[in-house]
Amino acid sequence: MSGVPDRLTVLIGDDQPLIREALKEVLAAEPDLEVVAVAADAREAVRLAVGHEPAVAILDVRMPGGGAWAAGEIRRLSPATRVMAFSAYGDSHSVDEMRRVGVCEYLLKGLPNSDIVAAVRRTAARPR
Amino acid sequence: MREHENVDLELLLQSLVDYAIFMLDSGGHVLSWNSGAQRIKGYTAGQIIGRHFSVFYPADDVVSGKPGRGLEIAVAEGRFEDEGWRVREDGTRFWANVVITALRDGDGRLRGFGKVTRDLSERRNVERALDERGRLLAHLVRAQEAERRRIAWDVHDDTIQSMVAVGMRLQLLASTLPAEHADAVTRLNDTVNAAVGRLRNLAFYLHPPGLDSGGLVETLSGYLEQVASGAGLAYDLVPDLDEEPPPEAAITVFRICQEALTNVRKHARASSVRVRLASADHGVHVKVADDGVGFADPGDASARREHFGLIEMRERAEISGGWWQLHSRPGEGSTVEFWVPAVRPGLR
């Protein structure tokens, strides 16, 4: 596990560079959060999650390779990591798809930064 | 001998179940009825004898004077033949071939009319599914949906995401600025957020999730859930389909329902809406009924202008080979009723 031990480590997986960068800055502005890895697709997200074992993985649902696939693999290969979905799509099909693979938090893109940060902390606090 | 012939003729008329054969008086009122007429049009003799034959025509045709014109032509030329929609007793329609013949006595005086009607719905349905026009239409529907899907995806995956990122950065910026500047940036962020919300609605309208993957009922159910509950409307979906319609028919049904629901949401001031789907006449018969304010005359020009969607709905149904109509009275809600054919090419 990388990062300062008392900080929550976070992985970001999103194919949109603008979102990746903005999200990274939003989280970096919080003293208790540390972004340890940033991935642009599902495969890279799984690989980096296995390497870093972050407390929280924030995954886009529609990134190449599929957010749901990445979530399932991360849950399997890095069981300590809690997965949170971050999506432009709020329809029930997308939400159910992520819930089925063990995603405990589903956040719609466009919510205030404070909601995103609160959701990351809430996700990390989920029982293992 | 003469009486014997009349009995035989009556027997013949009653045995012709594929033809509605009946007489009208010179004013157009029904004088007689046969079993074919009852089978095709749904009225019993007791229900229909004495009534004016314009009840067999769609409301628009009655307004435009079509029934009367048919009689006038029959009077002038002896005979009038037509193909078009006619209305059954239960309000559904069938595609009819109609021949009206003027009946004159030995002195040439008009005694009434003979009317022979055949139900060509099934033949028309199958022909349309197989002919070039049907194929072109299916292609057009698919192409239009593909285009809408592309636009919706672009809006979602590019425009919305970029604006979301802008919003996130504006919030970060606001948190580092002194209060007097932070307010302006926060307002800017609110504007961006509101635009994101509208774009999301646009993308949802253009291409509701599930339209190309899930079935018609599932997609409609998801759409109703989102739209009706968002507008504070109670809703009820009654899906009574024997089978999933082919994709083009499913899309046409969905798009017309979508337009009808938009009208309910924007204009009806309704508290509930009921959508009923049923398999009928090798197609899908749909009613979208609300309990809102209704309106006076759907054919009225000013009402039409206010409800552009009405024309679009009707065109969609008619282009697909189906029919569409609106029933509404002030204070009694509105019902959009339509039918579209759902014949799979190559299945017959």
> What pLDDT score does B299 carry?
54
Using a CB–CB cutoff of 8 Å, tell me whether A23 touches chain B. yes
Surface-to-core class of residue B325, CB atoms within 10 Å of its CB (0-12 exposed, 13-18 middle, 19+ buried) = buried
CB B222 within 8 A of CB B208: yes
Which residues in chain B are contacts of A23 at CB distance < 8 A? 168
Kindly state whether residues B179 and B235 are assigned to the same domain.
Answer: no
| Lowest-confidence region among B28-37, B54-63, B324-333 | B324-333
Using a CB–CB cutoff of 8 Å, tell me whether A31 touches chain B. no
DSSP states of B85-123: EEE-TTS-EEEEEEEEEEEE-TT--EEEEEEEEEE-HHH
**Tens-place pLDDT, residues B217-252:** 988 998 898 888 888 899 999 999 999 898 888 999
Kindly state whether residues B334 and B296 are assigned to the same domain.
Answer: yes
Kindly state whether residues B223 and B105 are assigned to the same domain.
Answer: no
At B15, the pLDDT band (50, 70, 90 cuts) reads confident
**Tens-place pLDDT, residues B59-95:** 889 999 999 999 999 999 999 999 999 999 999 999 9
**Tens-place pLDDT, residues B265-290:** 888 889 999 999 999 988 999 999 99
CATH number of the domain bearing residue B16: 3.30.450.20
At B347, the pLDDT band (50, 70, 90 cuts) reads very low
Kindly state whether residues B190 and B127 are assigned to the same domain.
Answer: yes
Mean pLDDT (chain A) is 92
In 3D space, the residue among B82, B163, B72 whose CA is nearest the CA of residue B116 turns out to be B82
User: In this structure, are strands B234-240 and B272-280 parallel, antiparallel, or unpaired?
Assistant: parallel
**Rounded Cα–Cα distance for residues A22 and B278 (Å):** 50
Strand partners, B79: B101
In 3D space, the residue among A115, A113, A42, A54 whose CA is nearest the CA of residue A83 turns out to be A54
Q: Give the residue from B119, B144, B167 where a domain finishes.
A: B119
Kindly state whether residues B115 and B125 are assigned to the same domain.
Answer: no
Q: Which domain range does residue B282 map to?
A: 215-348
Which residues in chain A are contacts of B169 at CB distance < 8 A? 22, 25
* pLDDT above 90 (res A80): yes
At B348, the pLDDT band (50, 70, 90 cuts) reads very low
Strand partners, B20: B117
Radius of gyration of chain B (CA): 27
Kindly state whether residues B250 and B316 are assigned to the same domain.
Answer: yes
Cβ neighbors of A86 (< 8 A, separation 6 or more) are A14, A19, A23, A58, A59, A60, A61, A107, A109, A116
Kindly state whether residues B324 and B281 are assigned to the same domain.
Answer: yes
- What is the Cβ-side half-sphere exposure of residue B185, based on CA atoms within 13 angstroms? 17
Using a CB–CB cutoff of 8 Å, tell me whether B157 touches chain A. yes
The residue of chain A nearest to residue B196, with distances taken between CA atoms, is A110
DSSP-H helix ranges across chain B: 2-15, 35-41, 45-48, 59-63, 66-77, 121-130, 132-154, 161-176, 179-206, 216-230, 247-263, 301-306, 308-319
> What pLDDT score does A77 carry?
96
State the average pLDDT over residues B46-58: 95
Q: Give the residue from B162, B183, B207 where a domain finishes.
A: B207
Kindly state whether residues B58 and B127 are assigned to the same domain.
Answer: no
> What pLDDT score does B294 carry?
84
Kindly state whether residues B202 and B225 are assigned to the same domain.
Answer: no
CATH number of the domain bearing residue B341: 3.30.565.10
Is the torsion defined by CA of B255, B256, B262, B265 positive or negative? negative
At A28, the pLDDT band (50, 70, 90 cuts) reads very high
> What pLDDT score does A82 carry?
95
Kindly state whether residues B220 and B346 are assigned to the same domain.
Answer: yes
CB A64 within 8 A of CB A15: yes
**Domain tally, chain B:** 3
| Residue A88 to residue B156, Cβ atoms within 8 A | yes
| Residue B209 to residue A93, Cβ atoms within 8 A | yes
Domains and CATH numbers, chain A: 8-124 (3.40.50.2300)
At B296, the pLDDT band (50, 70, 90 cuts) reads low
The residue of chain A nearest to residue B169, with distances taken between CA atoms, is A22
Q: Give the residue from B119, B135, B168 where a domain finishes.
A: B119
**Tens-place pLDDT, residues A42-75:** 999 999 999 999 999 999 999 999 999 999 999 9
**Rounded Cα–Cα distance for residues A98 and A101 (Å):** 5
* pLDDT above 80 (res B130): no
Kindly state whether residues B202 and B238 are assigned to the same domain.
Answer: no
> What pLDDT score does B228 carry?
85
* pLDDT above 90 (res B208): no
| Residue A93 to residue B210, Cβ atoms within 8 A | yes
DSSP-H helix ranges across A29-66: 42-52
In 3D space, the residue among A28, A102, A109 whose CA is nearest the CA of residue B199 turns out to be A109
Kindly state whether residues B92 and B137 are assigned to the same domain.
Answer: no
State the average pLDDT over residues B88-104: 94
Mutate which of B159, B168, B189 to test chain A, going by most A C-beta atoms within 10 A?
B168
Q: What's the CA angle centered on B21, arms B20 and B22, to 5 degrees? A: 120
